Amino acid sequence: MDRRKFLTLSALTVGGIAAVSACGSGSGGGGGESAGGELRVAQFGSAHRMGLFEQVFEAYTAKNPDWSLTLDAASNDAYLDKLATQVSGGNAPAVMGLFHSAVAQFARQNALVELDEYLGNGLDTSKFTEGLVDLGRVDGTVQGLSFGDNAHGSMYDVDLLESLGMQLPEPGYTWEEFLTFSADITRAVGGDFYGTEDRSSQLDQIFKVWLLQRGKYAFTETGDLGFDKSDLTDWLELWQMLRDEGAAPPADITAEAGGTFDSSALIRGYAANHQTYANALASMQALTESRLQLTTIPVNPAGSGSGHFVRGSNWVGLYARAENIDAAVDFLDFAFNDLDGAGILGAELGAPPNREVRDSLEYTEAEQNFIDYINLISDELGDTAIPLAQEFPPSWSDINTEFSTAVEDFRFGRTSVSESVDRFFERAESAIQAAR
Amino acid sequence: MTGPAQAGREVSRRRSRSAPGARSENRWGYLFLTPWFIGIVFLTAGPMLVSLYYSFTDFALLSEPNWIGTDNYVRMFTEDHRFWGSLGVTLRYVLIAVPLQLIFALVVAVALNRGLRGLSVYRAMYYLPSLLAGSVAIAVLWRQVFGREGIVNVVLRFVGVVDPPSWIAEPDYALYTLILLRVWEFGSPMVIFLAGLRQIPAELYEASAIDGAGKIPQFFRITLPLLTPVIFLNIILQLIGAFQAFNSAYIISDGTGGPLDSTLFYTLYLYLEAFTNFRMGYASALAWVLVVIIGVFTALNFLASKYWVHYDDGDR
Amino acid sequence: MTAITTARRPLRGRRIVLHVVIGLGALAMVYPIMWMFAASLKEDSAIFSQIGLLPPVFDFANYAEGWNGLGEPFSTFFLNSFVIAGLAVIGNLVSCSLAAYSFARLQFRARAFWFAIMLGTLMLPYHVTLIPQYTLFFELGWVNTYLPLVVPKMLATDAFFIFLFVQFIRGIPRELDDAAKIDGAGPGRIYLQIVLPLLRPALVTGAIFTFLWTYNDFLSQLIYISERRLYTIPLALRAFLDSSGHSAWGPMFAMSTLALAPLIVIFILFQRQIVDGIATSGLKG
């Protein structure tokens, strides 16, 4: 390498830096005056969802030409990494999409705007599902809103059921019936196929529904555990029985399912159902050619209620240190209530919280099935939900992990029921104490 | 070695002992390091020291950190079973995967270095897996290989194994699929070995062939000794890298370190503490403990290197 | 006569065995990629349900969908990734070889200390310096540009390559340096005219790795890039997936396959540099 080449290289480098710093708009901040400016919106999800948001932005800008909206998107798994970094650096977008498990965390760290003064005053929630807005209360004030109503549900491969001469279970079927027909399905299909999957290790999924049927919530208002050893013991033994009867798959088949839809037992061809949040229906449907339909999680006829409740999904909060809060509020109102905004989003983020909007939109077959199901829960079967702050106390993350460990250890046969239960309560206690 | 070489060495030795020569080499030394110094001072040292500070605080990412002294460290060593668990997983991973991968890389590099028809194609194919490292598609692909219905089990069933388990879903086996993944991506150390093999002068082989030496003695008497600096390089770099392995475990276990924490690498645990539990202060403490551990391993290797690494330049 | 023929037969047999073993090994290397390519030719609903490797029809629809699937044509993302990776390569090669030459060849005060510091920077996991670095770059106004991704490479922050070059420089005999010194050359000339040329295999290796790792680097690109038109390939690929909603697996696999192509080409082109480079270290002259 001679001197000339070296110098050319250096010149290229300097030129490169110059070119590169010309790209990009530098650090984005707010506009400042309410007369107009830029509003940044952070959202998680796939390109499809981002496309919808871009359309909503265009619709909003058409009505409010002084404002330009930009999307700060990231895929789900890395979304919080980026958002938390931005909040920490003081540079977060004004409108922040949040996972339901993150809202309380952000609120407790004073990262969110208190929205109470805007409710009914710039942000119309009068047509929302009753009680939904209160779910976003943390420490007394509303700090998060939900883009879509959601509920726990179970989706079945109805093509398979019909080929076996069976039908989709009617909403409200019991645990007894669940055990019987799941075992029937397993026997009828044979091989490595099971009537139900096993999602018993997730604190926020069917466990909550089952627990509520016993009249208990996972956490109390003070952040303590809302259930005791006998509950967890019963839960572990229930699913052991389901596995013993052949209704549910063994531990290793279940363990192969990650958190993604493509890895679920249903899609992989091991189970007839998928028990999760109802808004997963459309995405699951896209991955298989069989028809999927929603019904409830099994119900306890002697219990106190159905255990199902309307909850939020795809929450959103406003960044406490952002500059254009009024504009952000106005945008949210547009996205929730204006048909030009909410109509674009449709059922993508959940059932539109504004009931009038919800009833006036058109849906695909899968989406309609979902909307009908949500209406069923909120109008007929639903119990009262608890606010996010209670559902996700400060110690939630640790307890969630310990719960999975307890159930999985037992599932794999590494511990006995009592060992698992004792260890869980021991560790949960210390996590709660540590979080105080 | 006599003549100009030795004279040159004497001259340079005299140069470095005499005052003006030493000072000038000093100056040159720092001059060449200038970009690195600027980088250290402005871009690296600051964040590193801040993270050290965080390790003594309760920094929760979204709000201001508060000093809590050594609480994080105390908790780590006395109360945190996942710390010890992840340390065990990582140590097992490092101590098995690194030697395995390096031996593989060396063998393949040596094999590919001799004339073989279709060589460049093979070389590219063996490097191909490394191109996928960190790709989001890896998780799905790995399940297609090691899952219950993966190709490995298809082959196993074909040869008569009755009920092969899902290798990625069993706590006893999952870590080994990750070790295999690392070994599969041996392309990088292999390429480094290839470059090192190229540095060995062909004359040495020619001279020894004239003396009647065969391929095997040549390997042990010429190739290996002259390759030791590069072998040492790969050991150190792979060691440091393996201790900090993150991507494969994160993607394949869906960010959980499961099943049953069997793939909970240390940096994965650190990441979960930082960004899922919002305990960045604690995560920083975990990070600095890792620095010490890696530092100790590296230092031991450097000390040991005196006994087996052969440098041609007369230094250490 | 007989001696020669009997000697030839086992040799050919061994050759065949060698070819078979290496060939099988190569297939094992390549299988997951073949699976990915096959998946890119299937519809989403068939990718995970169909067991066979081969798709029933070779359908390239995923490629068209993936190319335009993110609002911007994928060529934008290719260009962006190339620019960043290219600049990173230049930065690393220049700054790291300078530093490596200093560590390997020049005597200066506290050299061992700084060497240890240099290695030490490799040992701290990125996740804990992420936030302070972000704050730093935010204060500089570099967020949402490529500067945080490229400038550090110009300042030898990738200690991996410093160490790599150090070890290779130490493999270059000192006699060459000394001969040049007798001719009156200073460290600068030695670096340029003796060390760098002989470092070529290591430099090419460094170029390949820097390009590859920058091209595939997800997290730092995610943190610092927010505008769609600045997106790089890793960000674009992730954007196809949504673990709580609709994932576009087919297009993602299609674009992943496409994204591999430049890497393979670059590797094939450059590996000849490593191998066909200097076969001798030029002890003569």
Question: Mind listing the pLDDT tens digit for each residue in C26-76?
Answer: 887 888 788 888 888 888 777 777 666 777 778 888 898 889 888 789 999
Between CA C91 and CA A190 the distance in angstroms is: 61
Between CA B268 and CA A366 the distance in angstroms is: 37
What does the pLDDT look like over A98-126, one tens digit per residue?
A: 999 999 999 999 999 999 999 988 899 99
Would the ipTM clear 0.90, i.e. be above it?
no
Pairwise CB contact (< 8 Å): A9 & C90: yes
First to last CA, chain A: 64
Contact list in B for residue A254 (CB cut-off 8 A) is: 169
pLDDT of residue C271: 72
Best mutation target among B166, B273, B277 (most A Cβ atoms within 10 Å) is B277
DSSP secondary structure of C69-91:
TBSB-HHHHHHHHHHHHHHHHHH
Domain containing B81 — which CATH number? 1.10.3720.10
Does C33 lie in the same domain as C74?
no
**Predicted confidence band of residue B22 (pLDDT cuts 50, 70, 90):** low
Residues 6+ apart with CB under 8 A from C10: none
pLDDT of residue C178: 86
pLDDT of residue B117: 60
The 3-state DSSP class for residue A129 equals: coil
Instruction: Write down the residue that tokens 């021991």 correspond to.
Output: A426
CA torsion, points B305, B306, B309, B315, in degrees to nearest 10?
Answer: 130
Instruction: Give domain status of residue B213, yes or no.
Output: yes
Least confidently predicted of B35-49, B74-88, B109-123, B136-150: B109-123
Pairwise CB contact (< 8 Å): C138 & A23: no
Q: Which carries the bigger pLDDT value, residue A2 or residue B313?
A: B313
Between CA B223 and CA B55 the distance in angstroms is: 46
pLDDT of residue C10: 58
Q: Minimal Cα distance from B149: which residue of C?
A: C51
What does the pLDDT look like over B162-211, one tens digit per residue?
A: 888 889 888 999 999 999 989 988 888 998 998 888 888 888 888 888 88
Q: Where are the beta strands (DSSP E) in A76-117?
A: 95-98
Q: Pairing mode, if any, of strands A37-44 and A67-74?
A: parallel
Question: Among C22, C37, C65, which residue terminates a domain?
Answer: C65
Pairwise CB contact (< 8 Å): A398 & B139: no
Which domain range does residue B293 map to?
Answer: 76-308
Instruction: Give domain status of residue C283, yes or no.
Output: no
Between CA A343 and CA A328 the distance in angstroms is: 19
Instruction: Give domain status of residue B186, yes or no.
Output: yes
Residues 6+ apart with CB under 8 A from C9: none
User: Given a contact as 3+ CB pairs under 8 Å, which chains touch B?
Assistant: A, C
Between CA A46 and CA C241 the distance in angstroms is: 5
User: Given a contact as 3+ CB pairs under 8 Å, which chains touch A?
Assistant: B, C
Instruction: Give domain status of residue B102, yes or no.
Output: yes
Does C207 lie in the same domain as C126?
yes
pLDDT of residue B20: 54
The alpha carbon of residue A181 is apart from the nearest alpha carbon of chain B, in Å, by 26
The alpha carbon of residue B223 is apart from the nearest alpha carbon of chain C, in Å, by 13
Pairwise CB contact (< 8 Å): A256 & B169: yes
Is the peptide bond prior to C55 cis by the omega test (within 30 degrees of 0)?
no
Instruction: Give domain status of residue C44, yes or no.
Output: yes
pLDDT of residue B17: 47
What does the pLDDT look like over B77-126, one tens digit per residue?
A: 998 999 999 999 999 999 999 999 999 999 888 887 776 666 777 777 88
What does the pLDDT look like over B261-316, one tens digit per residue?
A: 999 999 999 999 999 999 999 999 999 999 999 999 999 999 999 999 888 665 54
Instruction: Write down the residue that tokens 């809202």 correspond to.
Output: A103
> A301 in contact with C at a CB cutoff of 8 Å?
no
DSSP state of A42: E
Pairwise CB contact (< 8 Å): A84 & B259: no
Contact criterion met (CB below 8 Å) for A296 and A306:
yes
The alpha carbon of residue C98 is apart from the nearest alpha carbon of chain B, in Å, by 5
The alpha carbon of residue A150 is apart from the nearest alpha carbon of chain B, in Å, by 23
Does C199 lie in the same domain as C177?
yes
Q: What is the mean pLDDT of each run of 10 residues along chain C (285 residues)?
A: 48 77 81 85 78 76 86 90 96 94 89 92 91 91 93 93 92 85 85 88 90 90 90 89 75 89 83 57 34
Contact list in B for residue A397 (CB cut-off 8 A) is: 276-278
Instruction: Name A145's bridge partners.
Output: A316
Pairwise CB contact (< 8 Å): A267 & C130: no
Instruction: Give domain status of residue B304, yes or no.
Output: yes
Rg (CA), chain A: 24
Domain containing C129 — which CATH number? 1.10.3720.10
Instruction: Give domain status of residue B54, yes or no.
Output: no
Q: What is the mean pLDDT of residues A345-363?
A: 91
Pairwise CB contact (< 8 Å): C127 & B287: yes
Does C193 lie in the same domain as C177?
yes
Q: At residue A31, does pLDDT exceed 50?
A: no
What does the pLDDT look like over A152-194, one tens digit per residue?
A: 999 999 999 999 999 999 998 999 999 999 999 999 998 889 9
pLDDT of residue B213: 77
Here the tokens at position A142 are 């509303």
> A18 in contact with C at a CB cutoff of 8 Å?
no
pLDDT of residue B108: 86
Does C220 lie in the same domain as C105?
yes
Does C19 lie in the same domain as C124?
no
Between CA A208 and CA A230 the distance in angstroms is: 15
Pairwise CB contact (< 8 Å): B166 & A256: yes
Pairwise CB contact (< 8 Å): A89 & C193: no
Quote the mean pLDDT of chain A.
88
Does C154 lie in the same domain as C235?
yes
Contact criterion met (CB below 8 Å) for C180 and C190:
yes
* Highest averaged pLDDT of the listed ranges A38-52, A417-431, C61-75: A417-431
pLDDT of residue B316: 47
Of A427, B244, A310, A23, nearest in space to C129 by CA: B244
Of B238, B124, B203, nearest in space to C274 by CA: B124
> A282 in contact with C at a CB cutoff of 8 Å?
yes
Pairwise CB contact (< 8 Å): C227 & A280: no
Contact criterion met (CB below 8 Å) for C79 and C92:
no
Instruction: Give domain status of residue B15, yes or no.
Output: no
Instruction: Give domain status of residue C250, yes or no.
Output: no
Greatest CA separation for chain C: 82
Does C148 lie in the same domain as C80?
yes
Instruction: Give domain status of residue C265, yes or no.
Output: no
Count the residues in chain B: 316
Residues 75-114 of A with CB under 8 A from C: 75-78, 81-82, 85-86, 88-91
Which domain range does residue C38 map to?
Answer: 3-65
User: Based on the structure, what is the number of domains in chain C?
Assistant: 2
CA torsion, points B71, B77, B81, B82, in degrees to nearest 10?
Answer: 80
User: Based on the structure, what is the number of domains in chain B?
Assistant: 1
Instruction: Give domain status of residue B17, yes or no.
Output: no
The alpha carbon of residue B78 is apart from the nearest alpha carbon of chain C, in Å, by 22
Burial class (CB in 10 A: 0-12, 13-18, 19+), A342: buried
DSSP secondary structure of C185-204:
--HHHHIIIIIHHHTHHHHH
What does the pLDDT look like over C146-158, one tens digit per residue?
A: 999 999 999 999 9
Contact criterion met (CB below 8 Å) for C131 and A50:
no
Q: Pairing mode, if any, of strands A95-98 and A37-44?
A: parallel
pLDDT of residue B21: 60
Contact criterion met (CB below 8 Å) for A390 and A221:
yes
Q: Pairing mode, if any, of strands A145-150 and A311-318?
A: antiparallel
Q: Give, for C279, the enclosing helix (H) or strand (E).
A: none
Between CA C81 and CA C233 the distance in angstroms is: 6
Pairwise CB contact (< 8 Å): B126 & C131: no
In chain B, what percentage of residues exceed pLDDT 70? 89
Does C50 lie in the same domain as C132?
no
Q: What is the mean pLDDT of residues A136-147?
A: 92
Does C155 lie in the same domain as C133?
yes
Between CA C71 and CA C66 the distance in angstroms is: 10
Contact criterion met (CB below 8 Å) for A16 and A4:
no
Q: Give whole-number Cα distances, C148 to B42, B246, C142, C223, C225, in Å.
A: 12, 22, 6, 10, 10
Contact criterion met (CB below 8 Å) for A218 and A225:
yes
Between CA A436 and CA A431 the distance in angstroms is: 9
Between CA A162 and CA A291 the distance in angstroms is: 11
Contact criterion met (CB below 8 Å) for B187 and B130:
yes
Q: What is the mean pLDDT of residues A133-153?
A: 92
Does C151 lie in the same domain as C20?
no
Here the tokens at position A265 are 């037992």
Pairwise CB contact (< 8 Å): A2 & C151: no
Question: What is the interface size between B and C, counted as CB pairs within 8 Å?
Answer: 300
Q: Which amino acid is at A385?
A: A
Contact list in B for residue A106 (CB cut-off 8 A) is: 62
Query: What angle do the packed helices C74-105 and C159-169 form, to 10 degrees?
Result: 50
Buried b (16+ CB within 10 A) or exposed e, C82-91: bbbbbbbbbb
> A74 in contact with C at a CB cutoff of 8 Å?
yes
Question: Which of A75, A85, A287 lies at the smallest CB-CB distance from C242?
Answer: A75
Instruction: Give domain status of residue B70, yes or no.
Output: no
Q: What is the mean pLDDT of residues A79-88?
A: 92
Instruction: Name A39's bridge partners.
Output: A69
Q: Which amino acid is at A179?
A: L
Of A335, A344, A348, nearest in space to A280 by CA: A348
- Which residues of chain B are at the A interface, by a Cβ-Cβ cutoff of 8 Å? 60-63, 79, 139-140, 143, 147-149, 165-166, 168-171, 253-256, 258-261, 275-278
Q: Where are the beta strands (DSSP E) in A59-171?
A: 67-74, 95-98, 137-138, 141-142, 145-150, 152-157
Q: What is the mean pLDDT of residues A408-417?
A: 93
What does the pLDDT look like over A265-286, one tens digit per residue?
A: 998 889 999 999 998 898 888 8
Q: At residue A389, does pLDDT exceed 70?
A: yes
Q: Where are the beta strands (DSSP E) in A250-346?
A: 273-277, 292-295, 311-318
Residues 45-104 of C with CB under 8 A from A: 45-49, 69-71, 83-84, 86-87, 90-91, 94
Q: At residue B147, does pLDDT exceed 90?
A: no
> A49 in contact with C at a CB cutoff of 8 Å?
yes
Does C157 lie in the same domain as C106?
yes
Instruction: Give domain status of residue C284, yes or no.
Output: no
> A197 in contact with B at a CB cutoff of 8 Å?
no
Question: Which of B30, B126, B134 lies at the smallest CB-CB distance from C218?
Answer: B134
Contacts 24+ apart (CB under 8 A), A61-69: A62/A340, A63/A334, A63/A340, A64/A330, A66/A35, A66/A36, A66/A37, A67/A31, A67/A36, A67/A37, A67/A38, A67/A39, A67/A327, A67/A331, A68/A37, A68/A38, A68/A39, A69/A38, A69/A39, A69/A40, A69/A41, A69/A331
> A306 in contact with B at a CB cutoff of 8 Å?
no
Question: Which of B139, B166, B275 lies at the smallest CB-CB distance from A84?
Answer: B275
Pairwise CB contact (< 8 Å): C142 & A13: no
Q: At residue B15, does pLDDT exceed 50?
A: no
What does the pLDDT look like over A309-323, one tens digit per residue?
A: 999 889 999 999 999
Quote the mean pLDDT of chain B.
85
Question: What is the interface size between A and C, counted as CB pairs within 8 Å?
Answer: 173
